[in-house]
Amino acid sequence: MTLLKVDALSKSFDGSARRGSSSRIQAVVDLTFTVAAGEFLTIIGPSGCGKSTLLRMLAGLVQPDAGCIALQGQPLPDASARQGRFGYMPQRDALLPWRSVIDNAILGAELAGGSRAAARAEARQLLPLFGLDGFENAWPSELSGGMRQRAALLRTFLAGYDILLLDEPFGALDALTRRVLQQWLLGVRDRFSKTILFITHDVDEALLLGDRVLVFSHRPGRIAAQLSVDLPHPRNEDTVLESDFLALKRNALAHLKL
Ligand SMILES: Nc1ncnc2c1ncn2[C@@H]1O[C@H](COP(=O)(O)OP(=O)(O)OP(=O)(O)O)[C@@H](O)[C@H]1O
Ligand SMILES: [Mg+2]
């Protein structure tokens, strides 16, 4: 079942402040795709091709110049209509430094006006699954990079939305921590029935995690390819060495070079 439909979405920005002349930067052009309920869609493309802009348009933080975003067949033309429909984790983890891990985790529930005690109880139950057992009262500054990302993911998962928009959640991590967190995400994914849009720069990560990969072109970002990843689950660190995986990777890389 199609949950999200993005149709002919385009966005340009005023570049005059930066360049000192009146010019516009075309970030993305004519993005058209659908996402099925429960699907894990990964998005890959060169730096500056408009991946974050796409998620920010979905999250209602940026208004498209043209095109349509529809959820369950219902168009959401206004940014305000899209706010509160998607769980959004920005590219830089946005943990609030003055709040403990548990109080960061419940921020979404709190902003939605729910009970703090109930939200804390739910978050506490999930701490072990997110590798944060024993850290509920820690400050963000006391966490490792991987733990900060897991805390930010916990907050995004707990906010109660069906669709999660994750902007390079593992982008700033070293390769080893990243591999550990990829395995962890594959493991927890089945515990939650979420639809996920996940941006990455890493082809292996896109193919390992995704049911489907959207490959963006250089700016202005267009969809250069939509690749189905028909690799069986469970996937693990050996999956990336298998011949089926390598064939998919070759194909994805060929599209990225366009
Ligand atoms: N608020 C803004 N004002 C002006 N220009 C912007 C704004 N947001 C994005 N842009 C421009 O739009 C283009 C796309 O930016 P975006 O952040 O979406 O790229 P990206 O694909 O996420 O890049 P990266 O992989 O480096 O995160 C860039 O040229 C950027 O400078
Ligand atoms: Mg980005």
Over residues 41-97, the pLDDT tens digits come to 999 999 999 999 999 999 999 999 999 999 999 999 999 999 989 999 998 878 999
Cβ–ligand 1 distance for 61 under 6 Å, the answer no
| Closest ligand to residue 57's CA | 1
Domain at 2-86+162-256: CATH code: 3.40.50.300
Who's near 199: CB < 8 A, 6+ residues apart?
A: 42, 43, 44, 51, 52, 55, 91, 166, 167, 168
Cβ–ligand 1 distance for 28 under 6 Å, the answer no
Cβ–ligand 1 distance for 53 under 6 Å, the answer yes
Backbone angles phi, psi at 201, to 5 degrees: -95, -5
Residue nearest to atom 18 of ligand 1 (CA): 50
Q: Ligand 2: distance of its center to the CA of 62 in Å?
A: 14
CA 119 to chain CA mean position, Å? 23
Cβ–ligand 1 distance for 13 under 6 Å, the answer yes
Where are the domains positioned within the chain? 2-86+162-256, 96-160
Residue nearest to atom 3 of ligand 1 (CA): 13
| Closest ligand to residue 90's CA | 2
Instruction: Please give the pLDDT value at position 191.
Output: 83
Instruction: Please give the pLDDT value at position 20.
Output: 59
Note the pTM of the prediction, 2 decimals: 0.94
Instruction: Please give the pLDDT value at position 112.
Output: 82
Residue nearest to atom 1 of ligand 1 (CA): 13
The pick from 19, 42, 51, 54 for probing ligand 1's pocket by mutation, whose C-beta has the most ligand atoms within 8 angstroms, reads 51
Ranges under pLDDT 50 in the chain: none
Residue nearest to atom 14 of ligand 1 (CA): 50
Strand order in the sheet with 87-89: 87-89, 163-167, 195-200, 40-44, 212-216, 223-228
Residue nearest to atom 9 of ligand 1 (CA): 53
Cβ–ligand 1 distance for 194 under 6 Å, the answer no
Instruction: Please give the pLDDT value at position 173.
Output: 87
Q: Ligand 2: distance of its center to the CA of 52 in Å?
A: 4
Residue nearest to atom 25 of ligand 1 (CA): 47
User: What does the pLDDT look like over 119-129, one tens digit per residue?
Assistant: 999 999 999 98
Instruction: Please give the pLDDT value at position 17.
Output: 66
Closest by Cα among 258, 256, 257 to 44: 256
